[in-house]
Structure formats: structure tokens, C-alpha cells
Amino acid sequence: MNELLLMKSELVVTAIIFILLFIKINDITSNETVLKIINALLVLNVGAGFCCMDVTGELFSGMFKTNVLIAFEKNMLNIGTLLISLLSYEWLKNHRHLPEFFVLLLSSLLGMFFMISSGNFLIFYLGLELSTIPIAALCNFDLEKKQSSEAAMKMIMSSAFSSGILLFGISMMYGTTGTLSFAELPQYLDGSPLQVFSFILLFTGFAFKLSVVPFHLWTADVYEGSPVAVTSFLSVISKGSIIFIFLTTLYNAFAPMAEVWYNLIFLLSVLTMVIGNLFALRQQNMKRFLAFSSIAQVGFILIGISGGGQNGISSSVYFVLIYIFSNLGAFGAVQLISSFSGKETIDSYKGLYQTNPLLSWVLTISLFSLAGIPPTAGFFGKFFLLSSGAEKGNYILITIAALNMIVSLYYYLRVVRAIFMDKNEQPIASIKGSIYEKAGLLICVIGIIAVGLYSHFYEYIYSLSIF
């Protein structure tokens, strides 16, 4: 029984996938009923995640392991998936292949669960592939749009390429150490050039998935072409899961090589923040804009990852939690506007406040949270990330980061300015979202406010963040 509980998140998601397949095969009801069922199942899934969270243990001789932190991370991803499903209601309602969408989405989620829980490079690679390949299919889900197919093509090419590099790194690592297990690896690491080289290959694979500069070039096109639901899944859930496993590998398997990866991350963090911000400055399309801003956000998370210790881990995980709410809030608003009016450019948002005051506030709060303005949670998240950098004594890095926050504020304010200040003869008409979208946005806003101000969240994550 206990063994089953260890894998409960994976089992629940698998069960949901089977239910969806059953619905598809029998083709019983209309889309709206299916969506109701799916949302109910996803709520159950979130609920199930929170029971028996404190089960800790290993399976398959250390290949699969779980603890409270990992369970909590899975819950975060579950919540994110539920939010995406709620926020995409309008788009999904009329989609021809609704069950397939969720089968693919949940398969990807399942892959992430295995990846986060992995204790061995083999199962890690398996999970990674399971999480990436369905996303490539999902990118193509705007069936009428050429851009969508292009995005899918780019996604599958770039992820295949990065997986190749990653796999190359793993195989060389196996060649030099003779083990694939995270737990055994540290004792065989002696910092020989071949090991460093293979580590860098591995690192590059991660960097690709995280769209860290200079491996970010696929991001903007894929984000722009994909349906918003998939874009938000890619930029929030997928990135979040990679960050979790990145933390685990760095602090468990590669702990002895700390000085190698510390310098690497330092460099990439600065590059990512600066380049992400500079590119975001000039974007017109909201999806592209959020894509580049999310690249810059990853730069910030890298500060936490390089910070190390309990502080660094907890601030990174905490930031991902905040990032889920803030970015999904922003994507949710963009999605709603896009599916009602078809408009996605910043210029078309001019005068939005006149017609859609509430939606404008939601988008504004989300953007402020991304920019790190109090009292939103983003402020706390960034503060803790920078504090973990400062703990390490890396004041150059945090000064650069703090200055980058000004640049990022500039482009977030561009959107705010369009919404509140600029005049428009024909603003986007008043949007009446369904109850699902309203609920989704409400959860995002509550999350943005509460996760920051209510310090219990951070203290809880901090107490879990021990490797």
C-alpha cells in the first residue's frame, strides 16, 4: 500500500488519462460536458495531491523517490495545470479534439512528475522525453494556423537537438563514473576534464529547455505560434518542472563540482537577464512579449539556483510558485482577450480599461507581480532570490539584477500605459468570460496577493528545502 502511495500523483494522473481516452473512444457527450468532467477531475487531482503529502521513500532501488518537497512541487504543477484548463475554457469549448488535448497535456505532466521524482539519469531522461514530445504535438493545436505548425516543427527540432546533447552528456558521464544514480555519482566525481565536458553538455541540455541565453532562440517563435494555453503550459509548468529537477541534480549529483557550475550559472544568469530584457523591450505581440519576459525571469531564478544552500533552493521554488500565479494571470488575460477579439498586440490593448476594468486590473496586477512591485508576491520572490545571491557575497550579480528590474519595469509599464493611459477610438469590446475563466483569474489574483503577504508559504517551503 505504501508503495502505491509513493506514486500516487503519477497514478492519479494516469487514471485521468485513461478516463479521457474512454470518453474519446465512446464520443459520448458535447465539448462543454467533457470540459466540466475534466475540470472536476483536475480539481480532484489537486485535492489528491494534498493528501498524504508526507510519504517519503524510494522505489525501484532508488530510481524513483519522493519526499515532501517533491510532493509539494507536484502540487504546484497540478494547480498550474488546473488553472490553464480553467483559463482556456473559451478556446477549448469549440475545439474539435478536446480529449486529445488533455490526454497530451496530462501525459506531459506525467512525464514531468517522473522527471522530478527521478533518482537516476535513465528515468530522468525518460520523464524528460515524455514531457517534451506531447508538448510538440500540442503546439500544433491551432489547427487552422500555419504558424502553429511552424511552432510545433521548431519545438520538436530544438527539443530533439537538446535532448541529443543531454543524452551525449549523460553517456559520457556514465563512461567516466560508471554510474547513473544521483546518489552514487558524487563519490566518483573528481573534476577531470572529461567529466567537466560532459557536465557542460548536460548543462546545455537543461539550458535549452529553460531557454537560457544563448540557447533561447527557439522560444519566441514557438511561444508566438502556439495556442496561448500551450504557451502558458510551456513557459510556466514545463519551466517550473525543469527548474525543480535542475536543483535536484545540481545539489545532489553534482554537488562536488560546485565551483564549475557556480561560475557557469553566474555568467548565464547575467546574460539571460540582460538579453531577455533587451529583446522584450521592443516586442509588440503580447505572447512574444511574455516569452522574452519569461526568459528574463529565468535569469532571476538562476540567481537563486547559484545562491545555494537552503536559502537558494527555497527562494527558487518559492519564486516558481509565484511565477505560476503571476504568469498564468497574465496569460489568462491575454488568452481571454485573444479568444474574444483575436487581438494580441500591445497597441490593440489601448483603452482597455474603459471597456474591461476588472480584466485590466488582473492583467496589471499580474504584470506588476512579474516586475516585482509590492504588495504583489513577485516583490517578495525577487527579494528572496536576490538575498540568496547576496548571501553568497555576489554583490555584482545582484546589482546587475537590480538594475535589470528597472529595465523590465519599463516594458511592463508599456502595457500598463496602453491599458490605462492611451486613448483609442475603438477599444476592445467588453468581454464576458465564463465562470471558469473568472474562477481561474480569481485564483491567480488571490495567489499573487496571498503567497507574498502571508509569510507562511515561504516558511513552509523553506522548511522543506533541505537536500
Of these, 342, 393, 423, 435, which contacts another protein (CB under 8 A)? 393
Determine the interface stretch with another protein among 36-44, 55-63, 224-232, 379-387 (rule: CB under 8 A): 379-387
Are 167 and 235 within 8 A, CB to CB?
no
402 in contact with another protein (CB under 8 A): yes
Please report how close the Cβ of residue 17 comes to another protein at its closest, in angstroms: 38
349 in contact with another protein (CB under 8 A): no
Are 463 and 388 within 8 A, CB to CB?
no
Closest CA to 331 of 404, 440, 433: 440
Please report how close the Cβ of residue 387 comes to another protein at its closest, in angstroms: 6
Please report how close the Cβ of residue 455 comes to another protein at its closest, in angstroms: 5
Please report how close the Cβ of residue 346 comes to another protein at its closest, in angstroms: 14
317 in contact with another protein (CB under 8 A): no
- Considering the complex, state which of residue 181 and residue 354 has its C-beta at the smaller distance from another protein: 354
410 in contact with another protein (CB under 8 A): yes
Of these, 143, 258, 406, 429, which contacts another protein (CB under 8 A)? 406
113 in contact with another protein (CB under 8 A): no
- Considering the complex, state which of residue 126 and residue 390 has its C-beta at the smaller distance from another protein: 390
Of these, 48, 82, 386, 443, which contacts another protein (CB under 8 A)? 386
Number of residues forming the site for another protein (CB under 8 A)? 36
Determine the interface stretch with another protein among 135-143, 184-192, 389-397, 433-441 (rule: CB under 8 A): 389-397
190 in contact with another protein (CB under 8 A): no
- Considering the complex, state which of residue 203 and residue 319 has its C-beta at the smaller distance from another protein: 319
Strand partners, 345: 285
Interacting residues toward another protein by CB under 8 A: 310-311, 314, 368, 373-375, 379-380, 383-384, 386-387, 390-391, 393, 395, 398-399, 402-403, 405-406, 409-410, 413, 416-417, 420-422, 455, 458-459, 462-463
